[in-house]
């Protein structure tokens, strides 16, 4: 029988991680689909029995989402309007069975270019908290997920929590997903955004992220700069292709590169319109 460890204390998990190689397992919704034709001989570290890894808590600094918080936990939580995009993404993950088991930490650590949670979190300036026996460290999500299935996690680190800073939680949030069918669908493109409004109602800060159009989802910084000072209702008029120059979409059976670029612009325009309506 292969080793299977299900520690109840984070410290035990971290010390295990510091010795030997473990396959970390959370909700299993990415883990098992990768093991259909053969189940390899591997030692599994199941992180779902560690209470402090699960749950959502609010403080003056913002919101902390434990790594093993499920999509259903998020859907059922009462969150500020800025998190509407995150909640919308949660509702569109797979089907209810997947939402009941899949975790936000798993979504991030699996680092699929089509991970629906990541653009929404990027649009909330999310920070990730990692832990190892040597201690905790926090870094921006945008620096953590660096490519297709690539993260900056060290071999002995676990993702503990995601932090949403209070500063990004003031305005409205939105998320739009494009897929070739309704349920259980991998995104062709998705866009998430939040807005902060100035006293005069113009855009003080926009945070727009696009997923599935590059190896890792990206913030559209050129666009965000261009939007500052505009009225939300005018924002969707101000898009141009240059704002999306950072994207490098690929062709796969779901769509070709030209389509992805085109759809990213369309979805962004619509996302801005949603945000304007909510503002």
Ligand X SMILES: Cc1cc2nc3c(=O)[nH]c(=O)nc-3n(C[C@H](O)[C@H](O)[C@H](O)COP(=O)(O)OP(=O)(O)OC[C@H]3O[C@@H](n4cnc5c(N)ncnc54)[C@H](O)[C@@H]3O)c2cc1C
Beta bridge partners of 55: none
Q: Counting contacts by CB under 8 A, is residue 183 touching other proteins?
A: yes
- Within 179-218, which residues bind ligand X (CB under 6 A)? 184
Residue from 115, 176, 206, 217 binding ligand X (CB under 6 A): 115
Residue from 109, 120, 203, 206 binding ligand X (CB under 6 A): 109
Pairing of strands 173-178, 189-197: antiparallel
If binding means CB under 6 A, how many residues of this protein chain bind ligand X? Answer: 30
Alpha helix positions (H), the chain: 10-18, 71-76, 84-91, 96-101, 104-110, 117-122, 141-144, 221-227, 232-235, 257-278
Q: Counting contacts by CB under 8 A, is residue 33 touching other proteins?
A: yes
Closest to other proteins by CB, 139 or 180: 180
Structure tokens at 207: 């945070």
Q: Counting contacts by CB under 6 A, is residue 29 touching ligand X?
A: yes
Q: Counting contacts by CB under 8 A, is residue 105 touching other proteins?
A: no
From residue 49 to residue 88, the character string flagging contacts with other proteins as x (rule: CB under 8 A) and all else as - is -----------------------x----------------
Q: Counting contacts by CB under 6 A, is residue 25 touching ligand X?
A: yes
Query: Can you tell me which residue has the tokens 């397992």?
Result: 25
Residue from 9, 20, 96, 150 binding other proteins (CB under 8 A): 96
**DSSP letter for each residue of 221-276:** HHHHHHHTTS-HHHHGGG--GGGGTT-----BTTB-HHHHHHHHHHHHHHHHHHHH
């Amino acid at each position: 029988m292969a080793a299977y460890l299900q520690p109840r204390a984070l410290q035990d998990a971290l010390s295990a991680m510091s010795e030997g190689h473990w396959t970390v397992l959370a909700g299993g919704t990415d883990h098992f689909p990768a093991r259909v034709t053969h189940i390899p001989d591997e030692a599994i570290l199941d992180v779902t029995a560690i209470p402090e890894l699960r749950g959502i808590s609010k403080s003056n600094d913002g919101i902390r989402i434990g790594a093993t918080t499920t999509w259903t936990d998020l859907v059922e939580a009462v969150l500020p309007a800025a998190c509407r995009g995150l909640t919308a993404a949660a509702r569109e993950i797979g089907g209810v069975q997947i939402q009941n088991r899949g975790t936000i930490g798993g979504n991030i650590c699996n680092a699929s270019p089509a991970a629906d949670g990541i653009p929404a979190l990027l649009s909330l300036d999310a920070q990730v908290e990692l832990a190892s026996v040597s201690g905790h460290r926090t870094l921006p999500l945008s620096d953590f997920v660096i490519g297709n299935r690539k993260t900056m996690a060290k071999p002995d680190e676990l993702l503990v929590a995601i932090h949403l800073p209070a500063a990004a939680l003031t305005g409205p949030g939105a998320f739009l997903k494009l897929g070739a069918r309704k349920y259980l669908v991998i995104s062709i493109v998705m866009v998430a955004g939040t807005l902060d409004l100035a006293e005069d109602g113009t855009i003080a800060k926009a945070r727009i992220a696009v997923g599935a159009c590059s190896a890792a989802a990206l913030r559209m910084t050129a666009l965000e700069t261009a939007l500052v000072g505009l009225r939300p209702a005018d924002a969707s008029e101000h898009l141009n292709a240059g704002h999306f120059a950072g994207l490098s979409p690929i062709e796969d059976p779901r769509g070709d590169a030209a389509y992805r670029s085109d759809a990213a612009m369309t979805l962004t325009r619509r996302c801005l319109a949603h945000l304007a309506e909510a503002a």
